[in-house]
Amino acid sequence: MPKQVVELADGWRLAVWRSGAGGTPVLLLPGMSQDHRLYDVLVAQLAARGVLDGQVETIAIDQRGTGDSDDMDRRDPPTTGSFADDAAWVLERLEVERAHVVGHSMGGRIAQWLAIRHPERVASLTLLCTSPGDRHGVPRADDVDATIARCDPMEMALLSYTPAWLGSHHELAETADAATTTRSAQRGLHYRASHGHDAWDSLPRIVAPTVVVHGDADRVNPLRNGELLAERIPGAELVVLRGARHGLPVEHAAEIADVVLRQVATQK
């Protein structure tokens, strides 16, 4: 994907990766501490189905502190709301009036605020294995938190991918998981932003057509969180992928591509 650099209002620079110029814009927001590579498999799926005939243009953002974007300053810690404002600014600077927005995990939390604060920018919303925030959401089990704290690569991979898929696609998983930054995320800024998220009271204000996609085997973000979002957002549709874990944009990229292209086709 070709890279562009967008300068934000405060002077920080974000790397933005675009593919399929001229198609309907689809904005991809990665999860906590991850960059655009999380979506490589999904972008390939969309290319095979939509980009080649000019149907879809993907726009993937490296959030502050990840990938090729500038690092962040601890004196001004980000929130999911400020990340959403960054995304709206990117769309404005790219002269993209409206985009179909896809957010994974923390990226889904950012996407909620984008739809709440900047509804004119959001043609549709696809929320992948995310939640309304810790205050009203369902927490993961203590042993999952312990696994995440250990940061063992194989244990972490098995939280995202099924063993059968991982055994035959381990290079795809490595590419997606290599997206984790060693900068701001290790200082806890992304973690604090994600776990400080609370959009509960504002979710009923979302007017964009919304699809919530969740795996019923997701231990990082239990399924009930997706159900709560679908109940709270007016008219939202819930799609449950049986046996799916947390790595939906990678292991289940084909199913996610189907959902995104349906959003594009019905919300033009």
Tens-place pLDDT, residues 108-150: 999 999 999 999 999 999 999 999 999 999 999 999 888 877 8
What are the structure tokens assigned to 7, written together?
Answer: 């300068």
Residue 152: per-residue pLDDT: 81
Local confidence band at 180 (pLDDT 50, 70, 90 cut-offs) = low
Q: How many CA atoms lie within 13 A of 58 on its CB side?
A: 31
Local confidence band at 70 (pLDDT 50, 70, 90 cut-offs) = confident
Of 60, 69, 66, nearest in space to 40 by CA: 60
Residue 75: per-residue pLDDT: 66
Assess whether pLDDT exceeds 90 at residue 185. no
Residue type, position 268, single letter: K
Q: What is the mean pLDDT of residues 141-163?
A: 87
Cα radius of gyration rounded to whole Å, the chain: 17
What are the structure tokens assigned to 264, written together?
Answer: 């594009």
Can you tell me whether residue 74 is helix, strand or coil? coil
Of the two residues 187 and 69, the one the predictor is more confident about is 69
What are the structure tokens assigned to 251, written together?
Answer: 């292991």
Q: How many residues does the chain have?
A: 268
Q: What is the mean pLDDT of residues 260-265?
A: 94
Local confidence band at 229 (pLDDT 50, 70, 90 cut-offs) = very high
CA dihedral over 104, 101, 28, 194, signed as positive or negative: negative
Mean pLDDT of the chain: 90
Assess whether pLDDT exceeds 80 at residue 187. no
Q: How many CA atoms lie within 13 A of 90 on its CB side?
A: 32
**59 sits in which H/E element:** strand 56-61
Strand partners, 127: 103, 212
Q: N- to C-terminal Cα distance for the chain?
A: 24
Can you tell me whether residue 220 is helix, strand or coil? coil
Can you tell me whether residue 109 is helix, strand or coil? helix
